[in-house]
């Protein structure tokens, strides 16, 4: 059982554009990763040929991530706003398919924002109905969708894996899966093991992030527990290192991510260390799971 292991492009650079694409792809490949996760907020302006050239040159695959804003919130009680969110997701699916990405992940069910109130029944219903139609289109295109579970300061609808699982089961499509993120789980779940259990059989995509968004193993996330749980579940989906440093993401992205500190100076060293860390955790957890089963 082997998990594809990837890295978020913003570990290396703030933007995915121009010649920077090729440099980021080369650095990710040199660190030992098999694919890049690239965030796309405006699919209409995304350079598909330039992206494919950079990835092909480095021998990497791609996963796309995205999020909606309050004015395009899929989970809005206002049907017109929800419809704009659905249109965004449909465009993102077409982009992911064109890029030959197997996954479209992130805040695929609502806005990436600090909400002023709890979700409404009407808004939740709008999101579930729209996700059913979106998942049907994803199936036609051969793209899977990950619903990233976020902390309460970044979304109001899906803060636990159990909440994500409930929506996935309502929609009832194998193309819609739960996306677990250890950073967010550290804030919202009782434990990393509970987070995995909350996904049930619907876990599709895993973000590995430290409690302070920096180097793995230097914060307070219980990675041994996390990897033990995913190994026991025989999870074979993508695992992605996601981390942010203020000096890398730059002045434009830092306020959005609430990243105010320089977590590292050398992105290449941090990325390579993360790749080794993830591989070691997987080996240890799988060995323990195999021993328990024998």
Q: What is the pLDDT of residues 5-30, one digit of tens each?
A: 999 999 999 999 999 999 999 999 99
CA atoms within 13 A on the CB side of 177: 24
Q: Which of 37, 148, 188, 189 is catalytic?
A: 148
Question: Active-site residue 242, yes or no?
Answer: yes
Task: Tally the domains of the chain.
Answer: 1
What pLDDT sits at residue 1? 52
Say whether 100 is catalytic: no
Task: For residue 233, give its domain range.
Answer: 5-293
Q: Which percentage of the chain shows pLDDT scores above 90?
A: 96
Selecting among 86, 154, 189, 242, the annotated active-site residue is 242
pTM for this model (two decimals): 0.97
Is 60 exceeded by the pLDDT of residue 199?
A: yes
Query: So what's the pLDDT on residue 2?
Result: 86
169 token code pair: 């089961």
Please give the structure tokens belonging to residue 9.
């492009």
- Give the model's pLDDT for residue 194: 97
Among the listed residues 3, 10, 11, the one whose alpha carbon sits nearest the alpha carbon of residue 266: 11
Read off the CATH number of the domain in which 265 is found.
3.20.20.150
Residues 114-129 as b or e (16 or more Cβ within 10 Å = b): ebeeebeeebbebbbb
CB 43 within 8 A of CB 91: yes
Cα–Cα distance for residue pair 163/172, rounded to 1 Å = 14
The pLDDT of residue 293: 74
């Amino acid at each position: 059982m082997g998990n594809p292991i990837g890295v978020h492009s913003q570990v290396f650079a703030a933007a995915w554009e121009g010649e920077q694409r090729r440099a980021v792809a080369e650095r990710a490949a040199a660190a030992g990763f098999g694919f890049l996760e690239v965030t796309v907020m405006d699919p209409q302006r995304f350079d598909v040929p330039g992206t494919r050239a950079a990835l092909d040159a480095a021998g990497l695959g791609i996963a796309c991530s995205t999020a909606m804003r309050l004015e395009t919130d899929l989970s809005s009680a206002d049907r017109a706003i929800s419809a704009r969110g659905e249109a965004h997701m449909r465009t993102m699916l077409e982009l992911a398919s064109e890029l030959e990405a197997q996954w479209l992940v992130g805040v695929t069910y609502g806005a990436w924002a600090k909400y002023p109130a709890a979700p409404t029944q009407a808004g939740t219903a709008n999101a579930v109905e729209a996700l059913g139609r979106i998942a049907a289109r994803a199936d036609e295109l051969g793209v899977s969708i990950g619903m990233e579970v976020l902390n309460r300061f970044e979304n109001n609808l899906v803060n636990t894996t159990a909440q994500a699982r409930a929506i996935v089961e309502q929609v009832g499509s194998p193309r819609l899966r739960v996306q677990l993120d250890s950073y967010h789980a550290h804030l919202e779940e009782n434990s990393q093991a509970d987070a995995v259990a909350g996904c049930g059989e619907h876990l599709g995509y895993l973000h590995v992030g430290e409690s302070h968004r920096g180097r793995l193993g230097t914060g307070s996330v219980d990675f041994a527990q996390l990897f033990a749980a995913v190994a026991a579940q025989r999870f074979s989906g993508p695992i992605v290192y996601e981390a942010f440093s203020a000096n890398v993401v730059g002045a434009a992205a830092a306020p959005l991510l609430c990243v105010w500190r320089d977590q590292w100076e050398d992105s290449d060293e941090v990325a390579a260390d993360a790749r080794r860390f993830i591989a070691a955790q997987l080996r240890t957890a799988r060995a323990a799971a195999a021993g328990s089963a024998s």
